[in-house]
Amino acid sequence: MKTVAIEIKRLPHMDGIDLPHFETEQAAGADLRAAITDNIILAPGERKLIPTGFCMALPAGYEAQVRPRSGLALKHGITVLNSPGTIDADYRGEVGVLLINHGDRDFTVSRGDRFAQMVIAPVTQGKFQSVEILDDTVRGSGGYGSTGTG
């Protein structure tokens, strides 16, 4: 498995909270923890930005993708609203995660809770070119649902 060095700057409200951490040897996502003072309650349908208490410097050519934790999604309907959220290599502000409660009851986020995960991924930028004609394919311009019913 490839690794890449990522510099993390702890903010004062992260005191006592673990850095992002991979829970198993082959985990793709590092768990993010809530760097909050008071509990945050998400009512059904409500969304809130949850701070992580850190800033980071990703190497050029990489992004961080913020994703839901599957257990929270299954058990409570908690997900990352703009999933996956993208953190660009040139962003230096605090990492925050926009959570939404799709469940049917209030959900509480407490200080230090693992509430999302972060995947580090290489980035490929496209070189966009204007053309007059595109090549033909079997699908053509068929959009949503055009390749079948299921």
For residue 130, say whether it is annotated as part of any ligand binding site: no
For residue 104, say whether it is annotated as part of any ligand binding site: no
Of 114, 105, 115, 113, nearest in space to 45 by CA: 105
For residue 67, say whether it is annotated as part of any ligand binding site: no
For residue 88, say whether it is annotated as part of any ligand binding site: yes
Residues 14-20: contacts with CB under 8 Å, at least 24 apart: 14/52, 14/53, 14/54, 15/53, 16/112, 17/53, 17/111, 17/112, 18/112, 19/54, 20/52, 20/54, 20/118
Q: How far apart (Å, rounded) are the C-alpha atoms in residues 68 and 124?
A: 23
For residue 77, say whether it is annotated as part of any ligand binding site: no
For residue 78, say whether it is annotated as part of any ligand binding site: no
Bind-site residues for substrate: 69-71, 82, 86-88
Bind-site residues: 69-71, 82, 86-88
